[in-house]
Amino acid sequence: MIKILTDSTSDISPLLAKKLGIDIIPLSVNFSSDSYREGIEISPKEFFMKLRSAKKLPTTSQPSPEDFIVHFEAAKRSGDELLAILISGKLSGTFQSAMIAKEIVGYDGIYVIDSMNTTTGLRLLVEHAVYLRGKGVTAQTILKNINSAIPKVKLVAVVDTLEYLYKGGRLSLSKAVAGSLFSIKPIIRVKDGKVDVVGKERGANRAISAIVGSVDPKSIDYSVPIYFGYTEKRELCNILMEETEKRILANDIRISEVGAVIGTHVGPNCCVLTYLSN
């Protein structure tokens, strides 16, 4: 049997995970002395309510190697192969925790994959692995396909402010300041496993138009769904979807509510577009 495991920054809900037949390792979000496991002890709605009233920006923390060992040992005992597809190692220590766990367990049937992405970019890869598993292909073939897909995942987003990315240590002060002037809405992307600012527009609608205009419909691999994501409120995501569908005739569109861990770094009113390039 082939098992598939990911982490909670994929924003795959527990209900969807059960339907897909995968396991989720939660990261945690910490408000002062209180820690909550994402997707288990705090929902996106609860998180943003707490964020608005918090005096200090929350922090996030990775799973421990022990969190992975439970799943890795179970796969070893049953002789299953296990694919762990995880948040970028440049954004979190989650991948490193899994690698430590693999070394401790000492089982060759475990494949730990750095997705070089997160949120909808990670979800795209995980669901593609589930699709391939359903086709009856081997774990090695899935591994090869996912590794080939990783550099082709394109994730772009509009954020309301760069304040959260700066305070969370994901952006430099100079880039954060540049994006905070004159009601500018920054456009960010995940590339090579890191977050970068790629543009800025005056107002969210212009930023959305810039994102959609930058996508060449001929560059998209339509055999894989196109993913949209949002933090807290879906209105901007709906506009992004409508504008995208004017240019791109997608066969399959999927939507994720971005959770607490990524929400800590991008803040409210963020919308995301993710696709696989060909």
**33: pLDDT strictly greater than 90:** no
Amino acid at 261: V
Domain 152-276 class in CATH = alpha beta
**169: pLDDT strictly greater than 60:** no
In this structure, which topology does domain 2-27+64-149 adopt according to CATH? Rossmann fold (3.40.50)
Q: Report pTM.
A: 0.92
Query: Using an 8 Å Cβ cutoff, are 251 and 278 in contact?
Result: no
184 against 126, higher pLDDT: 126
Least confident interval from 46-50, 70-74, 143-147: 46-50
User: Predicted confidence band at 165 (pLDDT cuts at 50, 70, 90)?
Assistant: low
- Look at residue 179 in the predicted model and tell me its pLDDT: 47
- Say how far apart CA 200 and CA 195 lie, in whole Å: 15
In terms of DSSP H, where are the helices of the chain? 14-20, 44-53, 65-78, 94-105, 119-134, 139-149, 163-167, 173-178, 204-213, 235-247, 260-266
Question: In the sheet that 23-25 helps form, which strands lie side by side, from edge to edge?
Answer: 23-25, 2-7, 81-86, 110-114
163 against 109, higher pLDDT: 109
Contacts with 270 (C-beta within 8 Å, 6 or more apart), sequence order:
157, 158, 159, 160, 229, 230, 231, 236, 258, 263
The whole-number average pLDDT for the span 169-180 is 52
- Look at residue 225 in the predicted model and tell me its pLDDT: 96
**166: pLDDT strictly greater than 70:** no
**129: pLDDT strictly greater than 60:** yes
- Look at residue 239 in the predicted model and tell me its pLDDT: 95
**60: pLDDT strictly greater than 60:** yes
State the DSSP string of 43-92. Answer: -HHHHHHHHHH-SS--EEEPPPHHHHHHHHHHHHHHT-EEEEEES-TTT-
Paired strand residues for 205: none
Query: What are the pLDDT digits (tens) for 206-258?
Result: 999 999 999 999 999 999 999 999 999 899 999 999 999 999 988 899 999 99
- Say how far apart CA 183 and CA 255 lie, in whole Å: 27
- Say how far apart CA 248 and CA 229 lie, in whole Å: 17
The whole-number average pLDDT for the span 87-107 is 97
Per-domain residue ranges of the chain? 2-27+64-149, 152-276
- Say how far apart CA 87 and CA 58 lie, in whole Å: 19
Query: What are the pLDDT digits (tens) for 181-205?
Result: 556 788 999 999 999 988 888 888 9
What are the structure tokens assigned to 253, written together?
A: 């569109």
User: Predicted confidence band at 163 (pLDDT cuts at 50, 70, 90)?
Assistant: low
Q: What is the mean pLDDT of the chain?
A: 92
Backbone angles phi, psi at 166, to 5 degrees: -70, -50
Hey, how many other C-beta atoms are within 10 angstroms of the C-beta on 19?
11
